[in-house]
Amino acid sequence: MDANDTQGIQALLEQLQHSQAWKDAVASSYPDGSPQHILDAPQSYSAPQATSVAALLSQLQNEPHPNIVDTLQNHHHLPASQNDASESSFSMTLPASNTSVYRVDEHRYLTFQQALPLIARKSASPSFAEALKAMKQEQETLEIKLSDERKAILSKYETRVNVAKTKASMIGSGISRHEANMLVDAFEKELKRFDVERVLPAWDGLVLQQQEALVQMGVPTMFATTELSEREKQQKIMQVLEGLI
C-alpha cells in the first residue's frame, strides 16, 4: 500500500481498532479492585492506563498511518482458558496442625449435598479458616504478579509506538504499513508466548498445589484432577468454603 493511500490506511486503522487482540489487553492489566476468591474465575480487569492509551489512539486515528495502539490495548487479559472457573483457585502452605493422615478415598467422590455436613463440622476449627485465608492470599499475590508482568509488555510496545510516531513526524510522514504490521506482529507473538509459557503453567501449578493442600485438610471431593466434572464440583465446594473466611 502506498503511504499516501489515505483510504487504504484508514481501512487498516479501522481493522486494528476493532481487533479482539487490543480489546482483551485493556480489560485486564489491572485488578478491578476486588481480589480474586477461592476457585473463582479471575474477574475482568480495568485499565487505569487506558485513558492515556485512548488519547494516543485518538491521535493515531487522525493521522495517515496504521493504528498499532488498537492492537496493544486488547492484550491486558489473562488467556481465555484462564477465565474458566476450573483454572482459578488459591493456594497455601499448610499449618502443621492440618497435615494429619486422612483417608481421602472415603470422601473423594461424595456428592455436593453429601459433602456439606462434613464441611460444616470442619468450619468449627479456627485453624481451618486461617488455612483458607492463606490460600486466598497466595492466589491474589500471583494474580497481581502476572498482571504486572503483562502491563510491562504493554508498556514496552506503547513506547515503541510513540518512538515510531515521533520519528515519522520528524520527517513529515506517517508510520508505514510495513512498520505498523511489524510492531503488531511482534507484540502479539510476545503476548502469546507470555500466556503459554508463563501464565498457563503458573495457574496449572497453583491449581494442583491447592488440590493437594485441600486433600491434606480433609476437604471432601478434593483431589488432584483435570476432569471437568470433578473440577466443577470442587468449584462449588470452594464457593462454600469462601463463605467461611
52/59 Cα distance (integer angstroms): 11
> Can you give the pLDDT at residue 70?
57
Q: Is residue 51 part of a domain?
A: yes
Q: Is residue 98 part of a domain?
A: no
Q: Is residue 97 part of a domain?
A: no
pLDDT per position as a tens digit, 151-170:
999 999 999 888 888 888 88
Whether 184 has a pLDDT exceeding 80, the answer reads yes
- For residue 93, the Cα-to-chain-centroid distance in whole angstroms is 23
- Comparing 60 with 161, which gets the higher pLDDT? 161
Q: Is residue 100 part of a domain?
A: no
- Domain encompassing residue 12: 6-90+106-242
> What number is the average pLDDT over the span 81-110?
50
Whether 231 has a pLDDT exceeding 60, the answer reads yes
Burial 196-230 (b: 16+ CB within 10 A, else e): eeebbebbeebbebbbebbbbbbbbbbbebeeeeb
- Comparing 86 with 127, which gets the higher pLDDT? 127
Q: Is residue 99 part of a domain?
A: no
137/200 Cα distance (integer angstroms): 19
Total structural domains in the chain? 1
Q: Percent of the chain, pLDDT > 90?
A: 24
> Can you give the pLDDT at residue 108?
86
60/162 Cα distance (integer angstroms): 10
C-alpha cell belonging to residue 200:
498457563
> What number is the average pLDDT over the span 174-201?
91
Q: Is residue 101 part of a domain?
A: no
CA distances from 111 to 85, 232, 237 (A): 19, 12, 10
Whether 1 has a pLDDT exceeding 90, the answer reads no
The mean-pLDDT minimum among 66-70, 118-122, 126-130, 209-213 falls in: 66-70
Q: What is the C-alpha end-to-end distance of the chain, expressed in Å?
A: 59
> Can you give the pLDDT at residue 24?
57
Q: Is residue 29 part of a domain?
A: yes
- Comparing 129 with 100, which gets the higher pLDDT? 129
pTM of the predicted protein model = 0.60
Task: Show Cβ contacts of residue 93 under 8 Å, excluding neighbours closer than 6 positions.
Answer: 134, 213
